[in-house]
Amino acid sequence: MSRRYLRHYSSHTVFVLSVVDTVGEFFRKLLACFSAFWKQWKPINNPRRILIVQSHPVGDTVMTTPAIRALRKKFSQSRLFVLAEPSAASILSNNPDVDEIIPFQRPHFRYDERSRLPTLRRLTKSGAYHIRYLSHLCDVAVKLRRFRFDLAIDFDGDPRRALLMVLAGIPVRVGIANGGGSFLLTHPVDISDDTLHEIQKRLKVVQAIGADSTPKPTVSWSEKDEQSLNEKLLRHGVKGGELLVVLCPCAGFPSKEWRAENWAIVADTLITKHRATVLLCAATHEKPKVEAIKNHMRYLPVDLCGELSLPELTALIGRCALVVTVDSGPMHIAATLGKPMVVLWSMQSLPGNFGPIYSDGEVSLVWKDVPCKNCRKFVCPLPFSCMDMITPDEVIAAVEEMLTRSKNMGVKG
């Protein structure tokens, strides 16, 4: 029976992975005759140290918190470690279910640059990147070996992370079988249902080893984060009693972003028509995008770009009246906190898989149905994308409707 690989894989990737998996599975079965390290679905006996491999940005990390909670409940006496990117690690800094965070920085790869290169140069750069990535994995594996982990879990189905778990000498390795490299796992979990949300996929992985499948996402911040946020807001002249609207215009993928001039129209409308205090939030490296929005505006917003830590941003979202955002980490934070939200959704991925459908708050998705939906493109190759089709008037209408609902429900900024 052939394995069904992740839907967004190209036919070439599927062919290569199927060959590697077939050969790898043969050798795994051979090695399993001599070593328990390669036996699959062996019993899991009270692991002392558990590693969660979560080397993705903020949004994915937030969507992993239900699975982390489920693991904590299942293995209450174990120490739980998370291998996380520095950009997302702080979102877990106040999580009571996590004992320790191990920073992991993937080698950077310019996907947008690669897409413009001739085929030979593109293949050369891609090959060099993967060699650099594998070298980095070896360095990280050496570091992880010192921890002597008993169990490791990867939620993304990435064969490179399965390899990392093997190189780190971790005896029990749990992960998604459909990403390739399942022969490297001791507990490969089949996730063939394309309709599952990412949270449900992660919970299905831990459910396969006996954990609960019902927890919801969690985010938190400390009193120190709250005090620091207050000081920063006061420096910008923001005081209590104002209608706070947070705008998060940036995303990890350019294909998920909206034009700067459109953001400017929405922000100006909020300031002039609704007397709102508009707070622009983004990371330091996204400053040029925020400046482009401000250059198109007639009125000045509160520019918090690069000023807030993730816990401070979480605290800010927790006290605002409305969040207007694209598919991004702040969207998942707002959804977790149940905040009223307007999301400009790129059909680069489907809202049923990655959207804020788990939110207990009011959510309005603004999106366009296009033939190329779920393309998973880093950069849209079309001259007019599905995000370009969304007009400022549509977003303003959704924002005003959401503000009306929030007012009727007594939500305050």
- DSSP secondary structure string for all residues of 366-389: E----TT-S---SS--SSS-TTTT
**285: DSSP letter:** G
Q: What CATH number did the domain enclosing 313 receive? A: 3.40.50.2000
- In the chain, the percentage of residues whose pLDDT exceeds 70 is 94
* Furthest C-alpha separation in the chain: 73
The predicted pLDDT at position 141 comes to 96
Identity of the residue numbered 271: I
- Determine, yes or no, domain membership for 4: no
Whether residues 199 and 240 share a domain: the answer is: no
Q: What is the pLDDT of residues 290-304, one digit of tens each?
A: 999 999 999 999 999
Mean of pLDDT over the chain: 92
Give 165 or 16, the one with higher predicted confidence.
Answer: 165
The predicted pLDDT at position 105 comes to 83
Q: Who contacts 405 (Cβ-Cβ below 8 Å, separation ≥6)?
A: 340, 362
- Determine, yes or no, domain membership for 215: no
Whether residues 87 and 167 share a domain: the answer is: yes
Whether residues 184 and 263 share a domain: the answer is: no
Burial class (CB in 10 A: 0-12, 13-18, 19+), 288: exposed
Could you give the CA distance from residue 108 to residue 160 in angstroms, rounded to a whole number?
15
Whether residues 21 and 170 share a domain: the answer is: yes
- Determine, yes or no, domain membership for 160: yes
Whether residues 175 and 123 share a domain: the answer is: yes
What DSSP string runs through 177-204?
GGGS-GGG-SEEEP---TTS-HHHHHHH
Split into its structural domains, the chain has a count of 2
The predicted pLDDT at position 82 comes to 96
Identity of the residue numbered 100: E
Q: What is the pLDDT of residues 369-383, one digit of tens each?
A: 999 999 999 999 999
Q: Which of 166, 181, 207 is the last residue of a domain?
A: 207
The predicted pLDDT at position 117 comes to 61
Q: What is the pLDDT of residues 237-270, one digit of tens each?
A: 998 889 999 999 999 899 999 999 999 999 999 9
- Between 121-130, 131-140, 153-162, 247-256, the lowest mean confidence (pLDDT) is in 121-130
* Nearest CA among 366, 355, 351, 361 for reference residue 397: 366
The predicted pLDDT at position 1 comes to 37
Q: What is the pLDDT of residues 35-64, one digit of tens each?
A: 999 999 999 999 999 999 987 789 999 999
- Residue 154's CB: how many other CB atoms inside 10 A? 27
CA angle 283, 287, 292 (to 5 degrees): 135
Burial class (CB in 10 A: 0-12, 13-18, 19+), 33: exposed
- Determine, yes or no, domain membership for 216: no
The predicted pLDDT at position 8 comes to 66
The predicted pLDDT at position 107 comes to 73
Whether residues 23 and 69 share a domain: the answer is: yes
Q: Which domain holds residue 192?
A: 11-207
| Residue bearing tokens 């030979």 | 120
Q: Which of 150, 173, 207 is the last residue of a domain?
A: 207
The predicted pLDDT at position 269 comes to 98
pTM value is 0.92
Helices 260-274 and 287-296: angle between axes, nearest 10 degrees: 60
Q: Are 373 and 347 in contact (CB under 8 A)?
A: yes
**103: DSSP letter:** E
Whether residues 188 and 247 share a domain: the answer is: no
Q: Which of 177, 207, 237 is the last residue of a domain?
A: 207
